[in-house]
Amino acid sequence: MVVNAAVTIRYYNKDSKTHKFEVKIAGSSKTVEFGSSRTSTVTIQGGDDEAQIKTDCGWVTVKDDAHITIKDGCIEID
């Protein structure tokens, strides 16, 4: 059984705007903010090791310890 699991994502946001994306993890919906023009890390708390993120280009599934790039409101998994 997984207790207090979370998904940690290392991201590079190439866009000059901050993105706030809807995220679904372990049946719960949250909003996660990715700061503009930066490399950083976000942690999404939940009871699972993967999360679904709704971007301008559709839903993307990311696993814990993922590295992603955000460009034009879309996510690419590196």
Q: What confidence score (pLDDT) does residue 31 get?
A: 96
pLDDT 10s digits, 5-64: 899 999 999 999 999 999 999 999 999 999 999 999 999 998 788 999 999 999 999 999
| Residue matched to tokens 């992603």 | 68
Q: What confidence score (pLDDT) does residue 52 get?
A: 97
Q: Which two tokens stand for residue 30?
A: 């949250």
Q: What confidence score (pLDDT) does residue 70 get?
A: 98
Pairing of strands 50-55, 19-25: antiparallel
Residue among 69, 74, 76 at smallest CA distance from 11: 69
